A and B are shown apart, each in its own frame.
Chain A
């Protein structure tokens, strides 16, 4: 079989970026949660919040580390695998990424050291400041990278000179039509992802009968967050969909499985198997008129279908169609969990309802899966364009020897598979170990910031910690 460098480069990028997105979608939310807990601890003095912050900072640290190392790869892959793209679009995307590094990456890295290792070296307030800075850094980072991505979806504010993009208005480039929706949707998705990772863990403790107070506090908070965030996300998602309809109608047609050039009274497909050759769907299960109602607010509303453009301008319909359903399905499930949790809380049986806690404790990966599915809708739905309507993905791949890309792809698959296993192993290990007892945390706080304190105190702590960790292991 002839190896195609274009396909290999695209598979490699898809694989490495998919792997990367797992980690920031957890850390953005987790950093925010840790900042909230630390803030609440400072405000109320309730040590339970300190316990939450100190426990979750460990999974945060390993997740953040994975995000950093897998992220560096991406910042070089544009050039290594998509050299022509870098050359023609570098003047637009490069400065946006430069701002991401300047305003976010350094900020996160600079304060992460203090957040992770500085507990004994700075005051509690200073530490809180460092945590908040790291959290804000993650949001800023999301802002820039989503601005860059959204420009590729809905490009504006540029002109093309000698085949290369030049910026006319940076405001238009950054705040392009899809950017505000995608940014809000992604940030909410990240908060929800972390919420469900934490919720699942605390439900697991309760179900196992371990760390009861800790488990309850976390579960309760996360259910409140989910109750607010998940319906909000459905609403924002709907707005985002309307934006796609306006600017990328072909993507929307693939998401909804609409083939006819124009169709009114469009049904909402709960299930179908889109067939790109026959240009129709098989096995449709549909609610008549509902898609029109959602997208045009009129049962008879008209939508553009896939046949409005030639076949070579259409994305891979089944992948977009199914990814979209996975994302929405998980979203609905999350709303259901949040509502059911609220009902059980009102009944006063939340912490005893094992039939509820049991499935919730398996929901840790749901947020990540929904984020991945959502990004597949965004990115595969944009195809065959890399810059929507302007540049085709097939035109901009580096003319590298295919074996080289195959070699690096193999390396990445091996490395990432191994590391993902390792990541899950250590996450499990940290969660099984559970939180440090409150008494130990309170004792740690005495005399912090006094000169020589870090040295003398932590030495005794080291022996204490050894004692407790051996106890914990039993």
Chain B
């Protein structure tokens, strides 16, 4: 397959960047909601909410960004993907609505707090599950005679499994984020959950990889045809290495608490980056499997690309604003850097 340098390819990479940013940022953010039921006290819940109250909105904007890049650069793909996944998208949106409003209302509620706790946990889990479901369907590919928007393609054992796997992955990111943002008992809890989730995530990744290679001859050829395996072997190897380091760091945090010694700062911050690295590697693996399709085995990015007039028009905006966005998003994170304190802050 030839890789032609084109505007279409640039937008495909940009779309990939947007999705990766979304998965990492809203990943830990939704993950906090998924972990929510495993924390019990009001104080713990307060802490979880506060750790992300100032960033959830920005994190979710990456989802909108991914959506509009798809809309603007690949209108045909936006149209077919969105209408194919009608129900999972609608359910995801409803989930995002409930978890989003829970932030504001929970802090202002007295009697209805437990309903907002529920809205936050269920909404986050539902949104993550639907995202996994769609991801699974995309990897699996939709049958060649597909145009029928009334089918239930997105409902298969594989896609259901992917839904759960993505939930576990987000929860793992959230654990690592919490290790960075909290201290004491909560931090220890996060580290302990993180270790278990890491095992689940690695097992799921292995299972999903084998499953796709098993059911999709095209993906099998992509990974094992010719010398491909040799080029691609670093991906799984690096993943295992990252997982190993991550497991060790989380273990150290947990042990420090048991021994009642101070947790090393490096061990508090590194897990989040290692987990992000793990996601990055998995994402690259995914790209290897599905490239050049936007809707696998249906629609490639070349076929779906908008006319050049549209692609060129967006370029200045992207080159000026994406770096700016990254800069002030980073600035926002820096302002709220450090541990979450257990007192009411802000407006």
Contacts and interface: CB of A to CB of B under 8 A. Distances in A.
Interface in B40-75: 53-55, 57-58, 60-61, 63-65, 67-69, 71-73, 75
B292 interface: no
Interface string B324-346: 01001101100110000101111
B320 to A, nearest CB: 8
B68 A75 contact: yes
A405 B150 CA distance: 11
A117 B105 contact: no
A462 interface: yes
Contacts of A458: 341, 343-345
A100 B87 CA distance: 26
B97 interface: yes
A119 B336 contact: no
A61 interface: yes
Contacts of A412: 94
B317 A111 contact: no
A184 interface: no
Given A62-B104, A86-B82, A94 B54 contact: no
A106 B58 contact: yes
A78 B71 contact: yes
A75 B335 contact: no
A79 B149 CA distance: 12
Task: Name, among A90, A116, A454, the residue most crowded by chain B CB atoms within 10 Å (CB to CB).
Answer: A90
Interface stretch (A65-73, A200-208, A240-248): A65-73
Interface in A405-435: 405, 407-408, 411-412, 415, 419, 422, 426, 429-430
Interface string A102-126: 1101111111111011111110000
B89 interface: yes
A98 B314 contact: yes
A419 B101 contact: yes
B215 interface: no
Given A62-B108, A75-B67, A398-B149, A91 B97 contact: no
Interface stretch (B178-186, B192-200, B305-313): B305-313
B335 A121 contact: yes
B272 interface: no
Interface in A376-421: 398-401, 404-405, 407-408, 411-412, 415, 419
Contacts of A68: 57, 60, 100
A117 B63 CA distance: 23
B155 interface: no
B300 interface: no
A419 B97 CA distance: 9
Kindly state the interface size class of chain B when it binds its partner.
35 or more
B198 to A, nearest CB: 29
Nearest to A110: B328
Interface string A52-93: 001001100110011011111101101111011011111111
Given A455-B341, A459-B343, A86 B108 contact: no
Nearest to A414: B94
A263 interface: no
A105 B79 contact: no
Contacts of A90: 71-72, 75-76, 78-79, 306
B93 interface: yes
A260 interface: no
B98 interface: yes
A72 B60 contact: yes
A62 B105 contact: yes
A167 interface: yes
B1 interface: no
Contacts of A94: 68, 71-73, 75, 78, 306, 310
B81 to A, nearest CB: 7
A29 to B, nearest CB: 18
Q: Which of A81, A111, A422 has the most CB of B within 10 A?
A: A422
A78 B53 CA distance: 29
B146 interface: no
Given A106-B65, A110-B325, A76 B93 contact: yes
B61 A109 contact: yes
B96 A415 contact: no
B318 interface: yes
A109 B58 contact: yes
Contacts of A401: 149-150
Contact of B343 (A87, A107, A108, A462): A462
Contacts of A95: 72, 306, 310, 313-314
B204 interface: no
A415 B94 contact: yes
A309 interface: no
Contact of B94 (A101, A411, A454, A461): A411
Contact of B318 (A102, A399, A465): A102
A467 interface: no
B87 A408 contact: yes
B24 to A, nearest CB: 16
B39 interface: no
A429 B111 CA distance: 13
Contact of B75 (A86, A102, A426): A86
Contact of B310 (A54, A66, A91, A415): A91
B322 interface: yes
A80 B86 contact: yes
Given A65-B104, A170-B313, A116 B54 contact: yes
Contacts of A343: none
B347 A415 contact: no
Contacts of A224: none
A83 B68 contact: no
A123 to B, nearest CB: 11
A354 to B, nearest CB: 31
A91 B332 contact: no
B103 interface: yes
B86 A102 contact: no
A98 B58 contact: no
Interface in B140-166: 149-150
A100 to B, nearest CB: 8
A98 B68 contact: yes
B171 to A, nearest CB: 22
A99 interface: yes
B83 interface: yes
A119 B347 CA distance: 7
Nearest to B80: A83
Given A90-B78, A106-B329, A399-B149, A65 B103 contact: yes
Given A87-B79, A95-B314, A170-B313, A72 B105 contact: no
Rank and list the top 8 A-B pairs by shortest CB-CB distance, nearest first: A90-B75, A79-B82, A94-B72, A113-B54, A117-B346, A94-B71, A109-B58, A83-B79
25 contacts: A54-B347, A69-B96, A72-B60, A78-B78, A79-B79, A79-B81, A79-B82, A86-B78, A90-B71, A90-B72, A91-B72, A95-B313, A105-B65, A109-B58, A109-B60, A113-B54, A113-B58, A114-B335, A120-B346, A121-B335, A164-B75, A408-B86, A422-B101, A461-B343, A461-B344
Given A106-B328, A161-B307, 9 more contacts: A71-B64, A76-B89, A80-B85, A83-B79, A90-B75, A105-B61, A112-B57, A415-B97, A458-B344
